[in-house]
Structure 1
Amino acid sequence: MKKLILGIAIVSSAFVFGQKQDMKDINAQLQASNKAAMDAYQAKNYAVAAPKFLEVYNLMKTSGQEDKIYMYYAGLSYALANNVDEAIKIYTDLVNSGYTGVQTQYTAKEVKTGEVTSLNKGIWEGLKKAGSKDYTDFKVEQTKSVEPDLYETLSTLLLNAKKNDEALALIEKGLAKYPNNAKLKEYQGSALYATGNTDKFLTNLKEQLAKNPNDATNWYNLGVLQSKAPAGEADAVVSFQKAIQLAVNNPTLTNNAYQNLVYTSLGDDAKAVESINALRKSNPDEATKLIEARKERFNKALPYAEKWYQASPESLDAVTTLREIYGITKNQAKANEMKAKQAELEAKQPK
């Protein structure tokens, strides 16, 4: 089965740093590291930004003012730098620590500019208590938790690193906390398939399709699973056709769905030919029945193969398969046409 491609979707947070330490030497080092991290991040030099954010985190931790948001920024930067091992290490630490990233923000609207400003808690309380005429609309708000994002990103990192068992365990842990998280449910399907849990994967696919029946990839994956079951051909055909219908802007998925649709209709042709050859002398009547059944399967696959070729006229697989089907169904003119097309495509192949 074609594995679902999982992209890392990471949204950076705004980097707002305050002075955390009165000791001048540590504070100077902290500010320098912070500036270097910010500058590197904004320049998209994530490989440089990541260790600098860790440096800020460690300096603050040493001074007794630990703030894991800088560890989060480091993990984010490592992920964006494609340093998967370091990103996994940091995200795992954050998840295991129960980090949520939730912060309390104290804001007020500046009368002169009309802009909402974030303030230090002490200053905010002082201005509000004094009834400041320069600020209005004093608010205390909680920032959104990043914990679901941590689970989603770490799941993706683990799957891309082929650490499928770890990914599955993490995803199930995440779903226990966030049972309606659509991305984790999607990643669960990929992890189940990668770990060989095809029955659970099938259940997961059906659940996903019940929620989103317009997902072409899930229909395709469902068709692949159904095609492997002895009595699943009819269901697989429906699923592949649904995938084709929905994948109008995805030529790769369309090509793969048509290919599987044709092969599902043909069945195990090598096994069929082997059975026919074994019976030709000992039981010619039975061999004839098998030959007719084989022709019927090829006739059934023919319209799918023709549509596959129409959708992917430069696909060598589509052309050679259609040529073989025309040959079996005794349409020699069309078989010759596909033979010429096959030669044309093969001539274009890199030597």
Structure 2
Amino acid sequence: MKKQVIVALAISMGAFSFAQKKELKTAEKAIKSSNFSEAKTALSQAEALKGEMDSKLKAKYYYLNAEALYANGKGSMKDIDAAIESLSNVEGDYIQETADLKQKMVTSLVTSGNTAYEGKDFSKASKYFEKTYRLNTKDTVYLYYAATMSVSVPEYDRALTLYEELKNLGYTGIAKEYFATNVETKKEEILDKNTRDLYVRSKSHIKPGERTTDSKKPEIVKNVALIYVSQGKDEKALAAMKDARAESPNDVNLILSEANVHYKMGNTEEFKSLLKQAIAMDPKNPELQYNLGVIAAESNHPDEAKKYYQKALELDPNYVNAYINLSALILAGEKPMIEEMNGLGTSKKDNDRYDELRENRQNLYKEAVPYLSKALQLDDSNINAAKTLMNIYSILGESEKSKAMKEKVEALEASGK
């Protein structure tokens, strides 16, 4: 009886081994013929026998399963995820085959990601880039691309998960960048080291050099914080900023990012304080002066706002928005004049006051004209500046200028600018 059981068991195990090999061979043959549906069917049957497979057959199963799911790049997103998972289970045998398939998949995924990006399908691009990273976790830049694309969609929950993963990895994005100047175009080009050296030797490029790229950490922290703000998680947003600033206290970009969070939260005093810190570190930055002007104007401190806008223009005479905001600051003085004019009676005293206010109002318009004209000169498609000038010239009785500005407004509206 014992001998019969042993013999029967041996026959049973042999049958299992034969079935396993047969299904895997069928799958392998189907894959070579690009019949991935048939391969999946065979592999599904082999999966039921997986518990009885030895390590070599298991490695082959996982490898073939990944090939069938990937389907030469035609697999769905879900299939590609399953293929990546299957490849992670390959051990012992089929290591080189697995490495080759991974490289093939990486190349295809990067191409698909770039195509989606160029077509502005940022959601799809993000998913392709994330899968690229999952295949080769050394390429952390693709995880960064995936997070950045998610913000563009926007898919904030997904972006936050990816950014947190980058943060836990200690990702900075700092890398060595190689460059050289193209002799024909006179433009600097970023190249990989071997290509750059080859071009320099062939004399098609000159002035080779290398540099370290800026850290992506300020951008990542800023986006994480802004996502938290959009979700109403203000405390988490500020905690993210404070952690980053503790690590890089002299990073102006991080100070500005924290200032922006406070601004979105309505904390204007904290915003102003942080901007002033940033100005002390970067006193020649016109944008900082401009932002302080915006806050001063919104806080009903027009004289202070005017000083900041003028300082911004000292640093950058072509700062269009500073000219626009200065004109708006001036024209804001019109409202109380109109209210008083409308409330006057018909007495001689009231008529005299009306004439005085009317003259003051016209002087106010004349003061705003140079700023609006300069803004329009720098940005000739600024329809708001053109409309305001058209109305001002009409009120001042300068009919020719008003007519010319009206024609410009109509032209801009017709062009859709």
Smaller-chain TM-score range? Answer: 0.5 to 0.7
> How far is 1:42 from its partner?
7.6
In 1: Cα distance, 2:309 partner to 2:315 partner: 10
What residue identity is the alignment partner of 2:367?
Answer: K
- SS of match in other structure, 1:260: helix
Is this contact kept in 1: 2:129–2:145, CA < 8 A? Answer: yes
1:24 is paired with a residue whose SS is: coil
1:255 to 293, 297, 320: 320
Partner of residue 139, structure 1: none
User: Corresponding residue for 2:13?
Assistant: none
Across the aligned residues of Structure 1 and Structure 2, the Cα RMSD in angstroms comes to 3.8
Which of the numbers 124, 132, 145 marks the counterpart of 1:77? 145
Which amino acid is 1:275 matched to? E
CA deviation profile, 1:50-72 (whole Å, cap 9, x unmatched): 21422555xxxxxxxxxxx56x4
Deviations 1:205-261 (A, max 9, x none): 22222222222222222221222333x32332232233334445x6xxx33221111
Q: Which of residues 161, 164, 173 in structure 2 aligns to 1:89? A: 161
Which of the numbers 197, 204, 209 marks the counterpart of 2:274? 204
Matched residue, 1:316: 383
Name structure 1 gaps, 5 residues minimum.
1-20, 58-68, 103-143
Change (3 A) 1:155 1:24: farther
Unpaired runs of 5+ residues, structure 2, are 1-89, 115-124, 173-211
Contact between 2:383 and 2:412, CA under 8 Å: does it hold in 1?
A: no
Partners of 2:257 and 2:309 in 1: CA distance: 21
Instruction: Please list, as runs of the form range in 1=range in 2, the aligned pairs for 1:195-234 lying within 5 A after superposition.
Output: 195-230=265-300, 232-234=301-303
Q: Output aligned runs, 1:27-42, within 5 Å.
A: 29=98, 32-33=101-102, 36-37=105-106, 40-41=109-110
Give the partner amino acid of 2:253. Answer: K
Structure with larger Rg:
2
Q: Which structure has more helix as a fraction of its residues? A: 2
TM norm structure 2: 0.53
The percentage of aligned residue pairs carrying the same residue is 25
Out of 220, 223, 226, the position equivalent to 1:153 is: 220
For 1:235, what is the secondary structure of its paired residue?
A: helix
Structure 1 residue 167 displacement after superposition = 4.0
**Structure 1 190/316 Cα, relative in aligned 2: closer, same or farther at 3 Å?**
same
Shift of 1:161: 8.9
When normalised by structure 1's length, the TM-score is: 0.62
Match status 1:54 vs 2:134: yes
Q: Which residue of 2 aligns with 1:191?
A: 261
Task: Compare relative contact order (CA 8 Å, sep 6+) and give the higher one, 1 or 2.
Answer: 1
CA distance in 1, matches of 2:134, 2:381: 51
Check whether the contact 2:241–2:257 (CA below 8 A) recurs between aligned residues. Answer: yes
1:273 Cα deviation after fit = 0.9
> Relative to structure 1, is the Cα distance of residues 77 and 322 closer, same or farther in structure 2, using a 3 angstrom cutoff?
closer
Secondary structure, counterpart of 1:349 in structure 2: helix
1:345 maps onto 2:409 in alignment: yes
Contact 1:38 1:49 survives alignment (8 Å) = no
- 1:56-102 Cα deviation digits (max 9, x unpaired): 55xxxxxxxxxxx56x445223135446543421221343x4x3269
Aligned equivalents of 1:233 and 1:80: distance in 2? 38
Size of the aligned set, in residue pairs, is 268
Among 254, 264, 270, the residue aligned to 2:329: 264
1:281-303 C-alpha deviation (Å, 9 max, x unpaired): 58726555544443443343233
Contact 1:75/1:87 (<8 A) preserved: no
1:242 aligns with 2:311: yes
